[in-house]
Amino acid sequence: MAKRVTRLGGLLAAYQRRDPAARSKLEIFLLYPGVHAVLYHRLAHWLYVHHRFFLARCVSQWNRFWTGIEIHPGAIIGHRLVIDHGMGIIIGETTEIGDDCLLYQGVTLGGTGKDKGKRHPTLGNNVLVGSGAKVLGPFTVGDNARIAAGAVVLGEVPPNATAVGVPAQVVRVAGKPVYYADDVDQIHMTDPLVEELAAMNRRVEELERELMDLRKAVCKTKEERTA
């Protein structure tokens, strides 16, 4: 019992560290749906591993109705998971989430097919997944990785990396600790697709200038011939 109280205290403290709007542990415990979702899931998962599958699904469906967060009873969730807002989050059956992770609203940790066995992602420790991001498939997102808002991740993300875009590409890797999961700013990061489009736009402008110079040269040549 004392261990459970300690773990709950650690969870509430994690919310205080990561959510600037959190004022007190009592407020977090009573009013934050992310906390309720995790607590309901602990019960649903206990029932699941003890082969009380119908009761486990009942608890998880109540959890979904009450919090707007859908977590399959079979998912394995580590300690101090912070779910900020949380509405629309979906966590699949074979998902595994490490300690000290942070998920924003609209995140999907899902599969890519109907195969049996492991078909959902594994998140390491201290992973941040931004609003609306989709992580789909049975691969690993390494410790301290960061997935930008709206990204669609279809392959493995190394530890200490930042992945952005659709489909997601890694734009920061270990050795350059620019962003951390405790930094809740999800939007000020470079999208490689935007960079590529900007480069193409610059090239088009250069070609247009060269074409304009060529036209001027042709006109000048014509004028000299008729003079």
Quote the CA–CA distance of 222 and 225 in Å, as a whole number: 5
Structure tokens at 192: 């490689």
Domain locations along the chain: 2-189, 191-227
129 beta partners:
103, 147
User: Has residue 56 got a pLDDT over 90?
Assistant: yes
pTM: 0.72
Question: How do residues 71-106 score in pLDDT, each as one tens digit?
Answer: 999 999 999 999 998 899 999 999 999 999 999 999
Question: How do residues 169-182 score in pLDDT, each as one tens digit?
Answer: 888 776 454 444 45
Tell me the CATH architecture of domain 2-189.
Answer: 3 Solenoid (2.160)
How many CA atoms lie less than 13 Å away from 134 in the CB half-sphere?
10
The residues, ordered by sequence, that sit 6+ positions from 175 with a Cβ below 8 Å of its Cβ are 160
pLDDT averaged over the chain?
A: 85
Cis peptide before 167 (omega within 30 of 0): yes
> By the 8 A CB rule, do 184 and 18 touch?
yes
